[in-house]
Amino acid sequence: MGRGKRYDTAREKIDRDQTYGLSEAVGLLKESATAKFDEGVDIAVRLGVDPRQPDQMIRGTVDLPHGTGKTARVIAFAEGEQAREALEAGAVAAGADDLVERVAGGWLEFDAAVATPQMMPRISRPLGRVLGPRGLMPNPRAGTIGADLGNLVRAIQGGRIDFRVDRCSIVHAPVGRASFSEDHIIENVRTVVDTLVRARPASAKGQYLRTVALSPTMGPGVRVDPSAFGGT
């Protein structure tokens, strides 16, 4: 099934068998983002890891220097003063058992969730099957559990993203919008890849950065030469 003339025109500018330098790839990506809305830009990095091995399950957070171009909707599982601080920082909802019941009842109009350590026993059982598969369960490795929820909320809204390698050894992450300058997209991309390189497990063998690709929401992907990042 065809994807439309706009996609086909964009695809003609990109050689799918070629890898590009980072700057050239970002330029091609911006040219191919011709939708009538401000398209998101995503990165997909295939790593030389086996996610079936616990020590090779790459997961973490990274603060994008120029954000994602979207303000994340954050909720906070907390009580009293900590709930109030989360709301003042911009959380769309904050609470304890009342918020747990609301989410368990099907309300999922948020992009991230944070919690105090004390709330985790009250969250895990009722919401594990709701939040877990969606990657929304507060987790210490994702930096979404802590006492200072105000700062956690502000960090997420300011461009902190959570990443996790999937079963195909690929990490997907947003790195901005098509309206961003080339320099800002490049800096966000380098920040993500540098973070992944630092997270390389000691047990990973061979080439670590296998493939890197950038793509706009409605356009074709552009392959980036992994050597552009100086890592292997």
Residue pLDDT, tens place only, 47-96: 999 999 999 999 889 999 999 998 899 999 999 999 999 999 999 999 99
What's the confidence (pLDDT) of residue 1? Answer: 43
The predicted-structure confidence for 101-114, as pLDDT tens digits, reads as follows: 999 999 999 999 99
The predicted-structure confidence for 149-200, as pLDDT tens digits, reads as follows: 999 999 999 899 989 999 999 999 999 999 999 999 999 999 999 999 999 9
Per DSSP bridges, beta strands 59-63 and 160-164 are antiparallel
Assign 190 to helix, strand or coil.
helix
**Phi (first) and psi of residue 94, to 5 degrees:** -150, 140
Average pLDDT of the residues of the chain: 92
pLDDT category of residue 8 using cuts at 50, 70 and 90: low
In angstroms, rounded to a whole number, what is the distance separating the alpha carbons of residues 134 and 43?
Answer: 19
What's the confidence (pLDDT) of residue 210? Answer: 96
What's the confidence (pLDDT) of residue 14? Answer: 83
Of 37, 71, 21, the residue nearest 219 (C-alpha): 37
Place of tokens 């957070």: 61
Place of tokens 């993500």: 192
Per DSSP bridges, beta strands 93-95 and 74-77 are parallel
The DSSP element (H or E) to which 192 belongs, if any, is helix 182-198
**Helices assigned H by DSSP within 46-139:** 80-89, 97-104, 120-131
Whether the CA torsion 141, 144, 145, 150 is positive or negative: it is positive
- Chain centroid to Cα 61, Å, comes to 8
Residue 126: pLDDT over 60? yes
In angstroms, rounded to a whole number, what is the distance separating the alpha carbons of residues 231 and 220?
Answer: 25
List the domains of the chain with CATH numbers: 16-67+160-229 (3.30.190.20), 74-157 (3.40.50.790)
